[in-house]
Each structure stands twice: as structure tokens, then as C-alpha cells.
A and B are shown apart, each in its own frame.
Chain A
């Protein structure tokens, strides 16, 4: 299964680039693929792993005093990714994986 993460960074006491790096580091060593600016997908092992990712992102939001807004959504393995923009298909397919 995989998660889609869309985030928005607000300027504040922490530099915007640093906040963006904290968001990407919250994804850890999970396989990732950038779709668009501020949107990426990453592989998760299971629902518990997804909850761990969400917890890490909430920590980033707290640590940066709300400079980070995000939505992370869980999808079944193989669930199609629908987008109105072009993105790296091979990179995304490697994460989306085959269906159940």
C-alpha cells in the first residue's frame, strides 16, 4: 500500500527550506516519488506504518509552530493514482505496486 502526502509550508521563524526538509525526513527511508511540487507518494508497509508516518508529520507541524500543513492519505496497493498533471510514471508505479 502507499500514502499520498500533500503539504504546504508557511513562512515563519523556521526557514521554509528547513521546514520542507523536515517534512521529507519524516518520510524516513520509505520509498518515495515526487509527483508535483509539494506532493509526493511513499510506500508504507501497512496501516500501522501509515499511522507512524502521520504521527511523524504531526510532530514536524508542532515543532515548527504550525508552519507545516499537510494531508496524508492511505491507499491500497495497486489503487490507481489519478492526476491532471504529468509525473514520473515509472517511479510512481514502483511504489503503487500490483493490486491485492
Chain B
């Protein structure tokens, strides 16, 4: 099945049109942009374990946005900063179908979250004339604060976390026998945590007008680097992490992220590379460092969908997999909502 998936992917990419139409991959100035969304994926793992496929479904719903308005003001003649913010919600779900009797989708990860983003754009062009091409090419320098004041990750199960535990009449799980080493209940063990996360990034966009809407200069290529922290505190609203899980999960994580993307590369309307590294300040049975590097191609004419390949190493991110380390090459289809930003030229 994996070789068939590869063949289909290569065939689709080679046969995609040579159209220079980048419209689905560019956000028009003034429209509500999606900055660093999670993306929707359907993919396979190698080396193959017992997973038939894995999926992540993560549509971002924008509640309030002024970043679109900031993109109308960023190319102002005084090169003054233009600020914008966005409040959004993402009802994210991750699931794995296992190669077992009846192919179960076992213990999906339910991961809804609210996101607040604050961005500061500034035209870093050395040119003074706002009506020259060089002025409007930027680059645009931006600082991005990406904060998740509330994120939830649970698996909707009600069993005890360890196989050696039983739930008493009071609803609490206690060990039914003395144990020297505990096994995580992978069948229906309850996993739940609420987290807070914040990342600050520097972002640079190089613009040109080819393929952009009338009056706009659109990003031709961009890069972004950031650092942040994720906390999983006890007692943070209902469903927060319990003390036993907290000792094993690695509740405090230092984050480092990087991204680069370019418009119209070979047959890719958007070609991107993303990386995310987490350092777990406490780790039991898994490495302190987890990381992933992902490359993706979104062909023109595919409506914003594309193909990706990712290498992941470290603590398994799938709820009850927290006590295992995995090294996987993942590949498949993705629907990314992120688009290249456009900025409006200053009219007379």
C-alpha cells in the first residue's frame, strides 16, 4: 500500500498543470490571513508499525482579525510599523487506524485550542520612493507573537492510566497489586492535559507583484524563526494533567521553530520546509529532545492541497504514546490553510 501511495503521489505531481495561477496560495491584501495554522494531513509512517494510516484534521476558525488591515497599511510612505492581531479557534483532532482486528481507530487525540496572534509589520526597504518597485518589494520584517492561552489534549477514554490499576468506588484509580514497573494502558487509558504555549518569531517576507492581485505586492519567498515555551500545569481548568501523568509526560517544553517557503518552485505553487523542536525539561524513558522536519509542495491548480514528507524523532505525540520514542518518516497528503501574504501599495 505504501509503494502504491508513493506512485500515485509522484504521478499526480508530474501531471499537474504548468499554470502560473497562484491565486489559491496568495492571500489578497485586506483579507483575513491564516498565519502558521496547524494544517490537515492524511499520511503513512515508515518504518511501518501497526498503523494503517494517521490523520490530523485542524481547520482554523478566525473570530477576530486586524492583521488583514495591517497588510493594507504596511507599505506606507513613512515606513511606520503596522500592527495587527487575530483571535482564532482550532478544533483539532488526530487519529490513527491500527492494523488489528476490525481496524480500530483507537484513542483519538482531541486537541481544541484558542489562539491569539499579534504581529508587527515594517517595510525594511532601503528605498525612499513609495511609488518605486524597489520600495514595494520590501522586504517586510515582522515580529509575531503566537500564544495559546488555552489548549486541550485528551483521548476521550475513561480507563485507568496504567494496566495495574483499577477504579475504585470513589472513582479514583489505585494499584491493584504491588508493581515495580507500570505499563501504560494503551487500550482505554485516560489521557488529558491542558496547556499554555507562547512563541515569539522573527519573520521576513520578500515581495514582488508577479501573480499578485491588482494593487498588491505578494510574498515571493519568506522565512521565519522562533522560540517559545509550553507549560502543562496541574489544576489548570477541568481536564488538566494529573500528578501521575505529569511525572512522565514532560510538562515543560522549550520550543524552537523555523520555516521557509517560496512561491512557484518547479511545479509547486508553494514549496515549504518547516521544523519544530521541543526540549522536555524532564523526560522518562524518552529523549529530552524531540524534533520534526517537514517539506511540502502545493502544486498550482490543486486548490491549496499538496504532498508532504516529514521526519519525526522523539516522544510519540499521540496521547498514550507519551512513554515511547519513535523515529518515523511520514508522507502523504496535506491541506494547508497558510497562504503567502500580500500588501497593498500606497495609492496617491
Q: Which residues of A contact B (CB under 8 A)?
A: 1, 45-52, 54-55, 74-77, 79, 100
Contact = CB atoms under 8 A, between A and B. Distances in A.
B273 interface: no
Q: Is the interface of B mostly helix, strand, loop or mixed?
A: loop
Nearest to B342: A47
A51 B345 contact: yes
A50 B131 CA distance: 10
A51 B136 contact: yes
A48 B214 contact: no
A54 B215 CA distance: 13
B73 to A, nearest CB: 17
B131 A54 contact: yes
Interface of B: 23, 131-133, 136, 208-217, 345
B31 to A, nearest CB: 13
A-B pairs with lowest CB-CB distance, top 9:
A46-B209, A47-B209, A48-B209, A76-B214, A1-B214, A48-B133, A74-B214, A51-B131, A46-B210
Contacts of A50: 214
A52 B209 CA distance: 12
A49 B131 CA distance: 11
Contact of A100 (B133, B208, B209, B213): B213
B214 A75 contact: yes
Given A47-B214, A100-B213, A55 B131 contact: yes
A52 B132 CA distance: 8
Contacts of B133: 48, 51-52
B300 to A, nearest CB: 13
A46 B214 CA distance: 7
A77 B208 CA distance: 18
Contact of B136 (A47, A74, A75, A76): A47
A47 B131 contact: no
Nearest to B134: A48
Contact of B215 (A45, A74, A100): A74
Nearest to A55: B131
Nearest to B137: A48
Nearest to B216: A47
Nearest to B129: A55
Contacts of A52: 133
B215 A47 contact: yes
B17 to A, nearest CB: 16
B85 to A, nearest CB: 27
A11 to B, nearest CB: 25
User: Most A CB atoms within 10 A — which of B23, B212, B215?
Assistant: B215
